[in-house]
Amino acid sequence: MTTTHSRPTIDEPRVWIGCLACYNDGRLRGDWFSAAEAADVTPRQIHGGRATSHEELWVFDHDNIPVDGEFAPMDATGWAEVYDEVGETQWPAICAWVRSGSYVAQGDTDLPVVSHFEERFRGEWDSFRDYAFELAEDLVMFDGLDDDHTLVRYFNWDSWISDLEGDYVVERAPGGGVYVFAAL
């Protein structure tokens, strides 16, 4: 089957849309599409340009969408809208946030609320420990104290960092680092 849909970027969400009636009859009939165009896919497209009485389409597989299972093509379009809103650079981070299970969803959907993501995202770090040291510096925890001050010399960094981590969600990032999110 020849399609005219555009090629998605490497991390852009895409979906395999198939004919539900054909699937229920034991035949796989469908194709890959960008999630952005999923709601506009027609049964005629899925059936190679031929007219068909089959009306219901379904997303049977997907790439770069951080949830499991099947869903309606309209839901795929929602993921494309989230992708467009956060952009290619932030997409892996919001996917990690969703996969963590500790995210805010739009109503009764699996779609994340982007404003809540932006509010909670603390960036990508080599480790949570690196994030904690930067936070301590930003909080000027030892401002005005010399490096040889007793409080500075004997501060228990490991204990503080361990306690601090309970206030955050830490997920692996591509390339070996971690994404850090403020916990709900």
Global pTM value:
0.86
Measured distance CA(167)–CA(176) in Å, rounded? 22
Convert the pLDDT of each residue in 90-124 to its tens digit. Answer: 999 999 999 999 999 999 999 999 999 999 999 99
The neighbouring-strand residues paired with 182 are 168
% of the chain at pLDDT higher than 70: 95
